[in-house]
Each structure stands twice: as C-alpha cells, then as structure tokens.
Amino acid sequence: MSTSSGKQAATGPVKVRIRPALESDMPAVQEIYSHFVRLTTASFEEEPPTVAEMTARWQRVQARGLPWLVAVKGNKVGGYAYAAPYRERSGYRYTIEDSIYVAPDFLGRNVGNALMAELIERCTALGFRQMVAVIGDSTNAASLAIHSRHGFFVVGALSSTCFKFGRWVDAVLMQRILGDGDTTLPPREPGRRKRPKK
C-alpha cells in the first residue's frame, strides 16, 4: 500500500541520505508505520504490527532481492520505501508495487520525493516494467500528489473496500511505466541484478 499522508509540520526541504534498510532500522520503521496505522486511512491495517513483524516483512523483501530503502538524516530515519510483488502469480513477475511512508516531522520536506526517485531507479535497474501503487483513501492528497509527480497516473479506484474509523474508504490504483514498459519483450527474469555503486 502506498502512502504519504498525515499532518505536515513542514519547515522546508531537508537533505537526507537514501540507503538500503538494515535490521537495526526496523524499530524506527515500525514507529513511522504505526503512526499511519493508528491515525490515518493511508494504511488499511487497524492494529500496528510489532517490530518483529516489520522485521519479518523486511526479510521477505530482502529474500526476493527487492529494494527496501530508508531516508536518514544523521542517525534518524525520516522515512522508508520498498517494492514488493504486485501479485504472486508468475505472469505478474514484471510488475512491482511500491510503498512509501514518511515520518510526521519529515513530511513536506522532500523526503518522499528522494525515496520515490531512488526506488523507481532501482526497480527499473532490476528489470521490472510496471510499478503499481494502491493508495489508501481517495482523499489522500499527499500520496496522490507524490505519485503523480513521479509519473504515475490513475487507472481506477476500488470503492468502499475498507471500513476504518467508522467509515467506508476507497483505494486508488495508480500505475507507472518502468524502462521500456511493454514496448519490448523482457529479455530475462527480473530481480537480483546488482546495481552499480554511485
């Protein structure tokens, strides 16, 4: 699920370093995600997962050779983003789904843009051809905006598929072409390609 919503306390852009997430980042990742689970409809989960569960999710992404990134300022994790298979059936193997969450005190400070740009670059290098975003709540303006800014377009919505905080909530589907998209046949299986260091 792709999200960037929540209350902003923007104080201008902040320079962050984007790097692969480590197991030691998971408590901070869990704290960020818990905010969105508890207080927003950006996530359709209703109970925040534990640090152990977030670590298990990170391990599953790692095992597939997919990117899970964090944005750090000094020693503080200001946000995270990762890619996971859109669906498990083999025909979907060139399509990836993104998720992005930014800590409340880093919202509106260009952290989400930095994470999204790096995630797209890495998934393209791995050979994926389409990226899908499933955005919780059609009123989630921040997430819709950041995805639009990075080349996603709305392909539809699933009306009233979630019931949270006493109301029905939609899910918006957005999509972005990666690399050659469907203009060429894929030459190989996606994933696990080593990306040159910058």
Provide the terminal-to-terminal Cα distance of the chain, rounded to the nearest Å.
Answer: 29
Triad 52, 53, 55: Cα angle to 5°: 65
Instruction: Give the pLDDT mean for 145-166.
Output: 97
Give the model's confidence band at 10: pLDDT under 50 very low, under 70 low, under 90 confident, else very high: low
Give the model's confidence band at 192: pLDDT under 50 very low, under 70 low, under 90 confident, else very high: low
The answer to whether residue 83 scores a pLDDT higher than 90 is yes
Strand partners, 174: 133, 154
Q: What kind of fold does domain 17-177 have according to CATH?
A: Aminopeptidase (3.40.630)
Give the model's confidence band at 6: pLDDT under 50 very low, under 70 low, under 90 confident, else very high: very low
Higher pLDDT, 35 or 9: 35
Instruction: Give the pLDDT mean for 33-50.
Output: 98
The answer to whether residue 191 scores a pLDDT higher than 90 is no
For the chain, domain boundaries: 17-177
Determine what percent of the chain is predicted with pLDDT higher than 90.
87
**For the chain, where are the E strands, in sequence order?**
17-20, 68-73, 76-85, 95-102, 130-136, 153-164, 167-177
**pTM confidence score:** 0.90
